[in-house]
Amino acid sequence: MTEPAFLVLTALVDEPRHGYGIAQEVERISGGRVQLKIGTLYGVLDRLTADAFVEPDREEVWQGRLRRYYRLTDEGARALEEEAVRLADNARRAVERLRLRQAEGLT
């Protein structure tokens, strides 16, 4: 799973969001590091929809413009959890090894 896909799924965990809402949330979650361009965002949404990880929730008209909301599916939540566990596991191993290196006075 790519980082943008991971962040988009994470952005949809608490509530359905529309395109710009997802982009904003991804920027917030990543501490401003990832700023999804609209073309990239919709490319990611296409793939996640094709994998049945997200699905359209509802449509709203806001200030005369269409907002289509997307929500996380159960399958998407499972995939996100698996990926999060895998990444956390990798991060934990990296931290353990770094501590060991520090303990051995290699730094």
Partner 1 sequence: MSVLEDSYRWVLRLLPAPYRAEREEEMVSAFLEGAQHGEAGLDDQRPRWMEIASVAALAVRLRVGGPGAPPRSFLWGEAVRRVALLGLVFWTMIGFLSAAQALIAYGILADALPDDVIMGIGYAGSPDRLRHVLADLVPLMWAGSLGALVLGRPRMAKAVAVAALVLPHMLVPPVFPGGWEIVARWACMVLPAAVTVPALVIGFHRDAPPPPLPRGQALRMVALPAVPGILLSLVVTALSSLSRADTVPVTLLVQASLWVDVPGLACVSLLIVTVWCLARRRTSGPTALAAAILTVPAVLSRAATLHPGAADSITETINLVGGLQIALLLAGGITLVALSTQALRTVVDGDLTGIRGQHG
Residues forming contacts to partner 1 in the complex (CB under 8 A) are 18-20, 23, 37-43, 47, 50, 62, 65-68
- Phi first, then psi: give them for residue 27, nearest 5 degrees: -65, -40
Q: For residues 63 and 107, which CB has a smaller minimum distance to partner 1 in the complex?
A: 63
Which structure tokens are listed for 7?
Answer: 């962040």
Output the smallest distance, CB 67 to partner 1, in A.
6
Residue pair 77/13 in contact (Cβ under 8 Å)? The answer is yes
- How far apart are CB 106 and partner 1 at their closest, in Å? 32
> In this complex, which beta carbon is closest to partner 1, that of residue 17 or of residue 80?
17
Is residue 36 within 8 A of residue 45, CB to CB? The reply is no
Closer to partner 1 by CB, 16 or 43: give it: 43
Q: What is the phi-psi region of residue 63: left when phi exceeds 0, alpha when psi lies from -120 to 50, beta otherwise?
A: left
Q: From the CB of 36, what's the least distance to partner 1, in Å?
A: 8
